[in-house]
Amino acid sequence: MKILGIDPGYGTTGFGLVEGARGQFSLIRSGAITTPPGMDFSARLEIVYEDMKKLLELSKPDAVAVEELFFGQNVTTGIGVAQSRGVILLAVRQAGVKVYQYKPMQVKQAVVGYGNATKHQVMDMTRRILHLEALPKPDDAADAIAIALCHGRSSTSLLAQIQNK
């Protein structure tokens, strides 16, 4: 199963494509969709949307896992990320790929085994699970890979198999 993980953003949207079978995962590709700061916001959303469509076409994933938003202190940034997430979900929907959404705590639990794990712990376990020498850059891509791994580990659980029937 090929899983495309997405860490949404409007300046940088991380992506990670992993392939998994029988609990073993390998990294196929990772990177980021970026938009220039200072550009009109609607133009930035258009870049994210168009690049996401191309990414989906090239990678042909079986599933897409997207991180749910967590609003911290900066609500203004959160609104922009939410809008970017919207165009990402639209592109996935139009591509006809099933989308799964995970909260940051669910990603930490699935990858590290502890829902309050630190970012460093998640990144280190991601590197170990995929047998990588170093984590891919930027950090948004590494986060997206962890989101893909979360789906890979969650979707193979017995509970998930029962719920999907």
Query: Would you write out the chain's pLDDT as a tens digit for each of its 165 residues?
Result: 999 999 999 999 999 999 998 889 999 999 999 999 999 999 999 999 999 999 999 999 999 999 998 666 666 678 889 999 999 999 999 999 999 999 999 999 999 999 999 999 999 999 999 999 998 899 999 999 999 999 999 876 544 444 455
Q: Is 140 a catalytic residue?
A: yes
Active-site hit among 67, 68, 133, 143: 67
Cis peptide before 138 (omega within 30 of 0): yes
Q: Is 19 a catalytic residue?
A: no
Q: Output the domain CATH number for residue 83.
A: 3.30.420.10
Question: Distance between CA 103 and CA 31 in Å, rounded?
Answer: 21
Active-site hit among 51, 62, 140, 143: 140
Question: Distance between CA 68 and CA 80 in Å, rounded?
Answer: 14
Which residue range forms the structural domain that includes residue 131?
2-163
Please provide the DSSP assignment of 24-61 as one string. Answer: EEEEEEEEEEE--TTS-HHHHHHHHHHHHHHHHHHH--
Active-site hit among 7, 51, 57, 143: 7
pLDDT attached to residue 71: 60
Question: Distance between CA 110 and CA 6 in Å, rounded?
Answer: 16
Residue 88 in 3-state DSSP? helix
pLDDT attached to residue 144: 97
Q: Is 143 a catalytic residue?
A: no
pLDDT attached to residue 78: 82
Number of domains the chain contains: 1
Instruction: Calculate ∠ Cα 14-53-12, nearest 5°.
Output: 25
